Amino acid sequence: MALETLVAAELAESVDPRVTAMATALAARYGRASRSVLFYGSCLREANLDGLMLDFYLIVSDYAEAFGKGWLAFANRLIPPNVFPFEHDGLIAKYAVLSEADFTRLASSSTRNVSVWARFAQPSRLVWAADDGARAHGVAAIAGAAPALLAAARPMLADTVTLDELWGQAFNLTYAAELRAERKGRATSVVAADPVRYRCFTAPALAAAGLPATITGDRIAFEEALTAAERRAGAALWVRRRREGKALTIVRLAKASTTYAGGIDYLAWKINRHAGAAIEIRPWQRRWPILGAISLLPRLILRGAVR
Give me the residue spans of the domains in the chain: 3-144, 147-234, 262-303
* 23-75 pLDDT, tens digit each: 999 999 999 999 999 999 989 988 889 988 899 999 999 999 999 989 899 99
- pLDDT computed for residue 278 by the predictor: 60
- pLDDT computed for residue 170 by the predictor: 97
* Candidate from 16-20, 137-141, 192-196, 249-253 with smallest mean pLDDT: 249-253
- Interval 272-297 mean pLDDT: 59
Task: Please give the model's pTM, rounded to 2 decimal places.
Answer: 0.86
* 158-168 pLDDT, tens digit each: 999 999 999 99
- pLDDT computed for residue 307 by the predictor: 55
Q: What fold is seen in the domain 147-234?
A: Arc Repressor Mutant, subunit A (1.10.10)
- Distance in angstroms (rounded) separating the CA atoms of residues 200 and 223: 19
Q: What fold is seen in the domain 3-144?
A: Beta Polymerase; domain 2 (3.30.460)
pLDDT over 80 (residue 301): no
- pLDDT computed for residue 225 by the predictor: 94
- pLDDT computed for residue 249 by the predictor: 79
- pLDDT computed for residue 187 by the predictor: 72
pLDDT over 60 (residue 227): yes
pLDDT over 90 (residue 134): yes
* 186-222 pLDDT, tens digit each: 677 889 999 999 999 999 999 999 999 999 999 999 9
% pLDDT > 90, the chain: 70
Q: What single string gives the DSSP state of each residue in the chain?
A: --HHHHHHHHHTS---HHHHHHHHHHHHHTGGGEEEEEEESGGGG-S--TT-EEEEEEEES-HHHHH-SSHHHHHHHHSSPEEEEEEETTEEEEEEEEEHHHHHHHTSTT-S--HHHHHHTS-EEEEEESSHHHHHHHHHHHTTHHHHHHHHHGGGS-SEEEHHHHHHHHHHHHHHTS-----TTHHHHHHHT-HHHHHHHHHHHHHHTT--EEEETTEEEESSPPPHHHHHHHHHHHHHHHHHHHHHHHHHHHHHHHHSTTHHHHHHHHHHHHH-------HHHHHSHHHHHHHHHHHHHHHTS--
- pLDDT computed for residue 18 by the predictor: 96
- Interval 136-146 mean pLDDT: 98
* 83-93 pLDDT, tens digit each: 988 999 999 99
* 2-27 pLDDT, tens digit each: 999 999 999 999 999 999 999 999 99
- pLDDT computed for residue 299 by the predictor: 60
pLDDT over 70 (residue 271): no
pLDDT over 80 (residue 253): no
